[in-house]
Structure 1
Amino acid sequence: MFNNIPPITRNIIIINVIVFIVSYFLPQLNYYLSGYYPFSPNFRSWQIITHMFMHGSMIHILFNMLTLWSFGPILEERLGGKKYLILYFLSGLGAFVLFNLWNFYEIQQLTATLINSNVNVSEIYAKADLTKSNFDFKPYINNEEALKLYIGLVGKMVGASGAIFGVVAAFATLYPEAKIGIMFIPVPMKVKYVMPIVIVVSIFLGISGNGGGIAHLAHVGGALVGWLLARSWKKHLYRFR
C-alpha cells in the first residue's frame, strides 16, 4: 500500500519519520533543527526549512503524516510533482513567516514594557542562548514580562503542520465539494465549509494566547499560502504541467 503513494508524498513521509527517529537518539538535533524566533540567539538560517521535519511527539508526527497521506496523493497527481513540491515548501515557509510576524509584534511589546521598567533586555537575550551553560534566570522569575520574553526566545517551532495545512487548503480550493470526516463530528462535511471554520478558530487561538502550546498562526500562514497558490493555478492546471 505504501508503494502506491506518489513519490514526493512518500519521500516526505519517509524523511519525517527518519528525522523523528534519529532525533530521538540524538536529542541535540532538536536544538539545531527546530525553528526559533529569527532574532533569538538560538536561531540559525537553516531552521526555516528543517523545522518542517521536526516533531515533538509520536502523536504529533502520526497525525501530521496521516493527514498528508490522506490529501497529498490527490494533489500530487492533480498538480504534478513540481507544483506540489512548491506548494508544500512555500506553505511551510508561509507558516514560519506568519507565526514569527506575530512573535515579533508580541516581543516588541514586551521589550518596550521591560525597557520602561529599567530591565536589562540584552541580559535576557544573553540568558536565552541555549548553548551557554551558565543559565540563571532567578533574578527575573517574578517578572511576568521578562519570563514571557525569555519563553519567546527559547520556544521552538516544530512540525510539518504548516506545510500540511497548505496542502489541505489547496485541496479545499480545488475540490470544494469533497466531504471529509472530522473528529467528534459523526457526519462528513464539505471541505469548503470545514476550512474557514478551522482557520477562524486557529486565528482566535493564536492571537488570544490560548493555543495550548500549538502554533495556530503557523497553520493559518500555511493555509493562506496553499489557498493562494491553488487559486492562481486552478485556471491553468492543464495548460502548464
Structure 2
Amino acid sequence: MFPLRDTITYHGATLATIGLIILNGIVFLYQFSLGINVFPEFFYTFGFIPDIFFQDPIGEFSTIFTSMFVHGSFLHMLSNVWFLWVFGPAVEGRLGFFRFMLLYLLAGIAAALTQGFSLPESTIPMVGASGAVSGILGAYLILFPRARVLTIIPPFFFFFFWLPVPIYLGYWILIQFVYVFYEVAGIAWWAHIGGFFLGLVLVLFMRPKRNYRADPFWECWRDYC
C-alpha cells in the first residue's frame, strides 16, 4: 500500500524532515557520481555489517549512523524519503526539531541492532533509512491514532482509499513479521520492526509540544484535535 498524504494539516516547522530528505538525496548523488561499480565498496565501507560490528563494536559504531544515509538504488532512497515526507512533518510538528531528530537517530540505532542480533554472523551490509523512518511510523501511530492516510492499493492504481492510521500501519508492521516468518531475503525486515517499536515506545516519554488538527474535510475527527 502506497501512502500519498495524511489528514493532518497543521505541521509547524519541518526543518528536520526536509533536512533529512535533502541529506539522503545528496549522499545518493555522491554515490552515483562515483559510478555504479563503486557501490559495493561504498556499502562495505559505510554500511552496517553485523559480523564485523560485533567483532569491534566501538570501532564500527559509526557505521550505524552512516548506514542510515546510504541506499542501494534510487528507488530504495525514494521510497524511504517518501514515507518520511508523508509521516515525518506531523511527528516533527508535535515533537519539535531536537526531539524528532533524537527519535529518528535512536530508531535507526535500534533498527541496526535488532537486525544485527537477529543475524549476528551476517556479512551483508545493511544500508538505508528505513529503520529510522520506521521509528517515525511508530511514533505517528501513537500521536495521531485518529488520522487517515490517502492510499493507493495495488492493483487498484486508479482508486484512492482513506485508511485509518491503525489499519494502515497495523497492516504495514504485520507484513514485516510475515516476511520475517517466510524468510524473504534482500531487505532488513528485523530493522523495520526494531525501529518501529522503538518509535512506538520512545514517543510515549516525549511530551508533544502542541496539539494538532485534522483536515477540515473530516469533521468527525475534530473532537480529537
TM norm structure 1? 0.70
The aligned amino acid for 2:106 is L
- What's the CA shift for 1:40? 6.6
Larger Rg: 1
Residue 143 of structure 1 aligns with which residue?
Answer: none
Residue 5 of structure 2 aligns with which residue?
Answer: none
Distance (Å, rounded) in 1 between the aligned partners of 2:67 and 2:181:
22
Q: Which one has the bigger strand percentage?
A: 2
Stretches of structure 1 lacking an aligned partner (at least 5 in a row): 108-151
User: Over residues 125-153 of structure 1, what are the superposed CA-to-partner deviations in whole Å (9 max), with x where a residue is unaligned?
Assistant: xxxxxxxxxxxxxxxxxxxxxxxxxxx22
TM norm structure 2? 0.75
Distance (Å, rounded) in 1 between the aligned partners of 2:82 and 2:175:
22
Give 1:1-241 correspondences, 5 Å limit. 6-26=14-34, 27=38, 28-37=41-50, 38-39=53-54, 44-104=60-120, 107=121, 152-153=122-123, 155-184=124-153, 186-210=160-184, 212-233=185-206, 236-238=207-209
SS in 2 for 1:182: strand
State the superposition RMSD in angstroms: 2.1
Change in Cα spacing, 1:23 to 1:238, as seen in structure 2 (3 Å) is closer
Q: Number of matched residues?
A: 185
C-alpha contact (below 8 Å) 1:173/1:192 kept by paired residues: no
Stretches of structure 2 lacking an aligned partner (at least 5 in a row): 1-11, 155-159, 211-225
The aligned amino acid for 2:102 is I
SS in 2 for 1:225: helix
SS in 2 for 1:68: helix
SS in 1 for 2:115: helix
Distance (Å, rounded) in 2 between the aligned partners of 1:22 and 1:5:
28
The aligned amino acid for 1:166 is G
Runs of 4+ in 1 over 3 A off after TM superposition: none
C-alpha contact (below 8 Å) 1:199/1:220 kept by paired residues: yes
